[in-house]
Chain A
Amino acid sequence: MVALPAVAAPRASDDARGTVTHCPYCALQCAMSLTPTAGADASAGPPAPGTDPVPPLTVQGRDFPTNRGGLCQKGWTSASVLRTGDRLTTPWVRVRGELRPATWDDALDLVAGKLRALAAEHGPQSVAVFGGGGLTNEKAYALGKFARTVLRTPNIDYNGRFCMASAAAGANRTLGVDRGLPFPLEDVGGAQAVLLLGSNLAETMPPSLQHLAGVRAAGGLVVVDPRRSATAELTADGQGLHVQPVPGTDLVVLLALAHVVLAEGLADTAYLERRTTGLDDLRRCVAAWWPERAEQVSGVPATTLRAVARLLAAASPSRGGAGAYVLTGRGVEQSSQGTATVTAAIDVALLLGLPGRTGSGYGAITGQGNGQGGREHGQKADQLPGYRSIEDDAARAHVAAVWGVDPADLPRSGLPAVELLRRLGTPGGPRALLVHGSNVVVSAPDADRLRERIAALELLVVCDVVPSETALLADVILPVTQWAEEEGTMTSLEGRVIRRRKAIEPPPGVRSELDVLADLAARLGSTVHFGTDPAEVFDELARASAGGRADYSGLSHARLDAEPDLFWPCPATPAGTNPHPGTKRLFTRDFPTPDGRARLVPVDHVGPADDLRPGAPLYLITGRVLAHYQSGAQTRRVPALVRTSPGPYVEVHPLLAERLGVEDGTPVHLETARGGLVARTRVTDAVRADTVFMPFHWSGQGSVNRLTNDATDPVSGMPEFKVCAVQVTRWDGPWDGFEPVDAGLEPVAAGVRGDGGAHAPGTAGA
C-alpha cells in the first residue's frame, strides 16, 4: 500500500475555522471538521421562514491517529443527513391509527400519563427501554439512569447486544475487562501478522486499512471469512492468506490453531507460566481438534491451518517476531457460540503470549459509533455506569449515592435484548417500549416476529431524527438532535474518549434526548436530578464511573477538549497532583482479574442453531456494504450513497447460480424457518458454493433480518445473525423490484403544530 497523497487537498482543513469533531457513523470515529459551505452562514441565527432551515456543511477529513485524515464515502457525505427532506421536527402522535403532528407538551403528557398508568397497574417492569450504540456517553448514561431511577424498570437493554455482547463476555471472562482494542489502533501498523476473523474492515471502516499496510507488506494478513470480502482481497499477491471456512465453523479454525500451537511447541511457555492459568484444561480441550479433524468440519485444509498457526507463531514476540494480533468482528461473534469463539481467539492469543505486550494483542473491532461507551455506562440490562455489575452491592451503593437514591430501590438485572423483544406484549412481558437510537425492526433478527410483538404493545415511543421503519410503528415519535447538532463524548473502538461537537443549531422543534428525559422525569414526578447540559452530565457520569472498570472520573469535557489522546481507565487523582494520563495499553503489568492472571478457558464447537437440513441445504450469511451503515436509516437518505449502493442483493456462486438456473440480476426467493423474501441475484465467486450472502441495510422486502435466526448465545445473549439454513430458488412470480425507502410520514394539514414552529416533515426518499 502506498501512503496517502502528501497534499491531500480535501482534508487540508483549517481547524481554527471549522468545528472539530468526528464522523457520526462507525466506531472508528474518523476525525473530521465541519465548515459552513461557502455561501452559507451558520452563525446567522434561526433562518427566516421559508428559507432553508439547515445551512449546508462541508466535511473535511482531519488528521488523527486512527483515520490519518481519511474518510470513506459515508463520512464525506455525512452532513447531508442533517438536511434530509424528511427530518423529524415535531412530535408525532398516533390518533385513531394515524400519526399526526403534536406539540411537545401534548406528546410528553401522553407518554408520561400512559407510563404512569402502566406502572401503577402492572408494575414498573411493564415498561421497557431499548437504547443504542450510537448514543453519546452522556445520553446512554442518562437513559440507564432514567430507566433505573424514574421508571424503576430492570428491563433496559440496547442494540449493542447485537453487536458487542459476545466480545464483551469473552474478554471479561479471560482478560478480566472488555475494552474492544486494549491498545491504540496505530500499534497494529507494526505487526508482522494479523489474524482477522469475521471482520470486513475494507467496507466497514475503510480508513483503518492504513494500519494494515505494514502487515500486508510482511505477507502476514490472515483474513478468516466464508466470503472473499473486500478485506479478504487484501491478502492477495502474497500479502497474506484468506481462510474461507464453512459458515459457523470459525471456532473450529481457532481450536485447530490452538492445537497446532501446542502440539508443535510454538506456545510462549514462560508467558503462560507467569501470566495465565488454565493451560492444562485448555490443552486437553484442544487435543480433540487436530487439523485433519478441523478440516473435515470447517472445510479449511489442514495444511492451511498449520501454516496459519506457524505464521502467527513466527510473528509472536517469544519467537523473535515483530508482533502479532488476533482481531475478531461480528462475523464470528454474532453466533450462538460467539462467546466461545471470542474465548478461543483469546486463548490462541494467550498461548502465543500476545496480550499485554506492546505491539501484539487481542482485540474486538467494535461496530457502532459508540458501541464501546454505550456498553459501559448503564444501558445494558446487567450493568451500571463504569462497567459495573448491577448485581454487585458495592457498585449499587456507589451509583445510588451519585444518583441520590436508595440502593435498595435500584432494580436488578433485566432481560437481554432478544429476550426483551420476544416478550413484548406477552403476558407478564413489557407493555410499553421506549426506543432510543435504534431501528430494531430492521436490525433485529427474525424481524417479522418482532413486528408482531411491537404490534402487541400498548405504547411504543421512538426518539429519532428521521422517520425510521421503527418510528413509523410508534404511538409517539419524539424528534431529537443528531450528531452535529449536539455536544457530547463518544468512546471509540480503542477505548479513546473523544469529543463530539456542535456545528449547527438543531432545526426548530427538535430537542436533545437529555432534555426529553429530564422533562419526562419531571412529568413523572421524579425528584432525581437530570442534567441537560452534556458537560454537566458527563461530570456526573465520571463520578458514577469512579472505581469501576471503565473509570472516567479523571475526564471532563474541558480536559478532553485539550487532550484528544485519553483512553480509559482514567481515574481522578487527588487535588494538586498530576492528572492521570489515561491508559493507552491495558495488561502491560497484569490482568484485572483477582489473581492478576489471564484465564485460558476451554470451549468446544457445537455448530449453528439452525444448521443445514433437507429443505434448507444452503447457508445464509449476512454483512455490510461500504455505502451503508447499520439499518440504513441515515445512509439510505444520502443520495450519493444510494447511487453507489441502491438496494439489496444476494450473492450467489456461479456453480450454484447455474444449478438454480439464475443469472446476474435474476430474482431469487430465499426461505428460512422464519420467513421468505425475494431479491436480485449477484453472481460472484467470492462466496462459497454452499453459501449465499445478503447485506442487511434495507427494510421491507429486501430486509434479510426477516430471515435471520434469533437463537442466542447462552452466555452473551447475542443472536445468531451470521448463519442459518436457507432454501434458495429461482423466482418467477411477480416482483416489483426493490422499494428503496419506506413511504414515510404523510404531511398532515391538521392544525396541530410543533411548539417550536416546526416544519412538517417533507416527503420521504430524499
Chain B
Amino acid sequence: MSSSSGTTRVVVVGHGMVGSRFADDLHARDAERRFHVTVLGAEEYEPYNRVLLSEVVAGKLDVASLSLPRSVRERTSVLPGTSAVAIDRAEQVVVDSAGCTYPYDVVVLATGARARVPELEGLGSPDDEAALPAGVHALRTLDDAREIVAATVNARTAVVVGAGVLGLEVACGLAHRGLDVTVVHGGPSLMDRQLDGDAGAVVTGELGRLGIGVRLAARTQEVLVRGGRLEGVRLEGGERLDADLLVLTAGTVPEVGLAQRAGLDVARGVVVGPDLAAPADPRVFAIGDCAEPPEGGTGLIAQGWDQARRLALLLTGQRDEPADADPDAAPGPVGAPLPQGGTDVVRVKAVGLDVVSMGVSGTRRGTDAGHRSVRLTDPVGGRHVEVVVADGRVVGATCVGAGQVAADLVAAYTRATPAPSDPAQLLLRPVGGAPEPAASPTLMPDRTTVCRCNGVTKGEIVACWRHGADTVEDVARETRATTGCGGCTDVVCGLLDWLGTTDPDRARAREPRRAVGDVLGEVEEPARARG
C-alpha cells in the first residue's frame, strides 16, 4: 500500500481520542519511518478526553485536565479545524471543506459519533444541535460541557433524558452541584442496555438516596419552551416536570456521512472486517465510534483504543508484542489478535454511584445452559452483584455498589483468569483469616512467629521464660526477639505478663540459665520444619 517513493501516506479523518491515539501508535511502531500521517480534525481543539466530560459537568475536573497528548511528531501533520467532506476513492484523495485535497495510500476513518437528539415536540430539527432552545443541551463535545457548566450557575432544576451510563453520570454530577434533578428514561429500568430489573431497581434506590428523581418507562412528549427558553418537559401521560436545564443523553449516532458519500458499506456504523478494513476498499479503515466491526461497536473508548493499536500493528506488519521483544523468536501471524478476555466493561463514573457491567450479564445474559449465574441482591444495602461463569472463567458480571468486588471481577473478566469452582465465592471479597491473636498470648499457638526479624516463636519465648528470662531485655539477649525492627516488643511484654500471671510457680520450678543456642536447639519447631 505504499506509493512509489517507498513511503505510505496515511490520512486520518478525525482527531478525537481514537484518531489521535492511532497517529501516536503508528508513529511509535514505525521503526522504518515509512509512514507520513496527516490528521484532519474538524474541531479547533487539540484532542481531549471526551470520557471525562461528565466529570467536568460534575465540577470534579478542570477543563485543562482533559487535553490528551498532541500528535506533534515527525512525519505527522495535524490540521485542526479541517473538515473532510469527501473521499475520492478513485483518485485516492480526501477533500476538505475548503476544497483542499489530501492524497492517501491509506485512509483511516475515526470520525466518532455525535449525540443523538431525540425527535421531540418543541425541539426543532433533531439534526441541528445548534438549533436547540436555550437551556437544552446534548453532551458530546467540550463546548457542550462548557455550556452545561455555565447553565448550572443559574439553574435550579434539571431534567436528564436518557438513563444510560452518560445520563446517570450527568444526573449525579448535576445533583452534586446542588441542582434538583429528575431522570426520565424510556426503558423499563435504568441502564437497561446492561442492567436487568433487579440491578436497575438497586440503582433507582441509590439515585433516590442522592435525591435524584426517576421516571421509568416514561416518554418525553414535549419540551416546554417559552420565549426561546426552556421551562420544563411534559411526559406522555401528562406529567409536567419544571426545569431550567435539560440534558439529552439519549445515545450517540456514528458519524458515517463521509463513508456513505464515498459509497462504502454503512450499517449503523461504517462496516469493517476483523482487519478493520472496509470490505469494498482495502485502503479504507474505520476505528472507534464510527466503525462497526464484526463483534459490534460498543461505544467504549477501550474498544476504540484497542482498534487503534491493532491497526497500527497491522499497517506496520508487526506482531502483538512489546517493542523490545526478542527479534530472534519465531515469527507469529502478522496483526494483533483480539484480546482473549472481555473488553466491554461499562463503568459509571459518578459521585456516589458505583455501577460496573461487563460481558453476558444482566440484560445481555443469554440462555446458554453452560453459563452459570449467581447473584446477590441487597437493595437496602444498595448492592447488587451478578457473576456469570462459563468454562471456568468469568464471562459476565454486574456490580452495583460492590466496590473492590467489582474491581476484582473486572480483572478476572478482562484477563480470563481461572474462576473459583464455586462462583458464589466471587460475590464477596474473601474473608481474610483471623489475625494472629497478638493480644491474646493464651490462644497463640506455640509455633506462631512473634519476632519475624529473628524468626522467634512464642514457644521459644516461653522456653526462655522457663529458663529464667524475666524481662524483654532477657528475652532479647537469649532469643534476639525485639532486636530487629522492634515491632514485636509489645507482644513480648504481653507474653511475659501472661506467663507471670499463669505460671507464678516458675521461681521454684525454673531451670538454671543456659546459653541461647542450647535453648533454641531444644525447642520443638513444627512451624519451621515445614516447607
B322 A336 Cβ-Cβ under 8 A: yes
Check if A689 is an interface residue, CB within 8 A of chain B.
yes
Encode B321-334 as 1/0 by CB contact (under 8 A) with A.
Answer: 11111100000000
List of A residues within 8 angstroms of B404 by Cβ: 301, 304
Given contacts A230-B452, A290-B49, A618-B417, whether A295 and B66 have CB atoms under 8 Å apart is: no
List of A residues within 8 angstroms of B345 by Cβ: 296
Which of under 10, 10 to 19, 20 to 34, or 35 or more describes the interface residues of B?
A: 35 or more
Given contacts A5-B473, A10-B476, whether A714 and B324 have CB atoms under 8 Å apart is: yes
User: Using a CB-CB cutoff of 8 Å, which residues 35-70 of chain B contact chain A?
Assistant: 48-49, 51-52, 55, 60-62, 64-70
Check if B366 is an interface residue, CB within 8 A of chain A.
no
Check if B486 is an interface residue, CB within 8 A of chain A.
yes
Check if A401 is an interface residue, CB within 8 A of chain B.
no
Flag the segment in B198-206, B240-248, B285-293, B523-531 that touches A.
B523-531
Check if B512 is an interface residue, CB within 8 A of chain A.
no
A296 B418 Cβ-Cβ under 8 A: no
User: Using a CB-CB cutoff of 8 Å, which residues 462-496 of chain B contact chain A?
Assistant: 472-474, 476-477, 480, 482-487, 489-490
Give the complex CA separation of A302 and B347 in angstroms: 11
A263 B453 Cβ-Cβ under 8 A: no
Check if A707 is an interface residue, CB within 8 A of chain B.
no
Interface of chain B, helix or strand or loop or mixed? loop
Give the complex CA separation of A689 and B435 in angstroms: 19
B529 A646 Cβ-Cβ under 8 A: yes
Check if B414 is an interface residue, CB within 8 A of chain A.
yes
A296 B453 Cβ-Cβ under 8 A: no
B490 A2 Cβ-Cβ under 8 A: yes
Check if A737 is an interface residue, CB within 8 A of chain B.
yes
Given contacts A230-B452, A295-B407, A685-B430, whether A5 and B420 have CB atoms under 8 Å apart is: no
A299 B69 Cβ-Cβ under 8 A: no
- Closest residue to B340 on the A side, CB-wise? A614
- Closest residue to B343 on the A side, CB-wise? A296
Given contacts A301-B404, A647-B531, whether A1 and B487 have CB atoms under 8 Å apart is: yes
Give the complex CA separation of A649 and B69 in angstroms: 45
A284 B432 Cβ-Cβ under 8 A: no
Give the complex CA separation of A209 and B392 in angstroms: 42
List of B residues within 8 angstroms of A3 by Cβ: 486, 489
B473 A7 Cβ-Cβ under 8 A: yes
- The distance from the CB of A668 to the nearest CB of chain B, in whole angstroms, is 12
Q: Within the complex, which residue of A8, A210, A288 is in contact with B473, where a contact is CB–CB below 8 Å?
A: A8
Give the complex CA separation of A293 and B455 in angstroms: 42
Check if B421 is an interface residue, CB within 8 A of chain A.
yes
Q: Within the complex, which residue of A2, A206, A281, A643 is in contact with B528, where a contact is CB–CB below 8 Å?
A: A643
- Closest residue to B474 on the A side, CB-wise? A9
- The distance from the CB of B46 to the nearest CB of chain A, in whole angstroms, is 8
Check if B454 is an interface residue, CB within 8 A of chain A.
yes
List of A residues within 8 angstroms of B321 by Cβ: 609
Flag the segment in A463-471, A653-661, A747-755 that touches B.
A653-661
Check if A71 is an interface residue, CB within 8 A of chain B.
yes
A206 B484 Cβ-Cβ under 8 A: yes
Give the complex CA separation of A262 and B392 in angstroms: 41
A246 B480 Cβ-Cβ under 8 A: no
Give the complex CA separation of A617 and B455 in angstroms: 35
User: Using a CB-CB cutoff of 8 Å, which residues 674-725 of chain A contact chain B?
Assistant: 680, 682, 685, 689-690, 711-714
User: Using a CB-CB cutoff of 8 Å, which residues 94-113 of chain A contact chain B?
Assistant: none
Check if B349 is an interface residue, CB within 8 A of chain A.
yes
B418 A656 Cβ-Cβ under 8 A: yes
B531 A737 Cβ-Cβ under 8 A: yes
B349 A292 Cβ-Cβ under 8 A: yes
List of A residues within 8 angstroms of B325 by Cβ: 609, 711
Give the complex CA separation of A296 and B101 in angstroms: 41
- Closest residue to B72 on the A side, CB-wise? A281
Which of under 10, 10 to 19, 20 to 34, or 35 or more describes the interface residues of A?
A: 35 or more
Encode A587-620 as 1/0 by CB contact (under 8 A) with B.
Answer: 0000000000000001000110100111001100
Check if A527 is an interface residue, CB within 8 A of chain B.
no
Check if A627 is an interface residue, CB within 8 A of chain B.
yes
- The distance from the CB of B93 to the nearest CB of chain A, in whole angstroms, is 31
Given contacts A283-B65, A290-B52, whether A9 and B477 have CB atoms under 8 Å apart is: yes
Given contacts A263-B61, A296-B345, whether A284 and B420 have CB atoms under 8 Å apart is: no
Q: Within the complex, which residue of A9, A206, A301, A613 is in contact with B476, where a contact is CB–CB below 8 Å?
A: A9
- Closest residue to A237 on the B side, CB-wise? B435
List of B residues within 8 angstroms of A234 by Cβ: 487
List of A residues within 8 angstroms of B415 by Cβ: 246, 612, 617, 690
A659 B421 Cβ-Cβ under 8 A: yes
A296 B414 Cβ-Cβ under 8 A: yes
List of A residues within 8 angstroms of B520 by Cβ: 640
Encode A634-677 as 1/0 by CB contact (under 8 A) with B.
Answer: 00000010011111110001111011000001000000000000
Check if B433 is an interface residue, CB within 8 A of chain A.
yes
- Closest residue to B528 on the A side, CB-wise? A643
- Closest residue to B69 on the A side, CB-wise? A284
List of B residues within 8 angstroms of A208 by Cβ: 485
List 15 other contacts, CB 8 Å, given A202-B485, A618-B418, A737-B531: A1-B486, A70-B453, A72-B453, A73-B455, A209-B486, A283-B64, A287-B49, A287-B65, A292-B349, A296-B347, A298-B411, A655-B420, A658-B421, A685-B432, A714-B323
**What are 21 residue pairs bridging A and B, where the CB atoms are less than 8 Å apart in the complex?**
A8-B473, A9-B473, A70-B483, A71-B480, A206-B484, A262-B65, A265-B62, A283-B64, A284-B68, A287-B48, A612-B341, A612-B416, A643-B455, A644-B528, A645-B455, A646-B528, A653-B430, A659-B420, A665-B530, A713-B324, A714-B323
A-B interface, 10 closest residue pairs, ranked by CB to CB distance from nearest: A209-B485, A644-B455, A299-B411, A206-B453, A690-B417, A655-B420, A206-B484, A680-B531, A4-B486, A9-B477
Taking beta carbons and an 8 Å cutoff, which residues of B are in contact with A? 48-49, 51-52, 55, 60-62, 64-70, 301-302, 321-326, 340-341, 345, 347, 349, 354, 392-393, 403-404, 406-408, 410-412, 414-422, 425, 430, 432-433, 435, 452-455, 472-474, 476-477, 480, 482-487, 489-490, 520, 525, 528-531
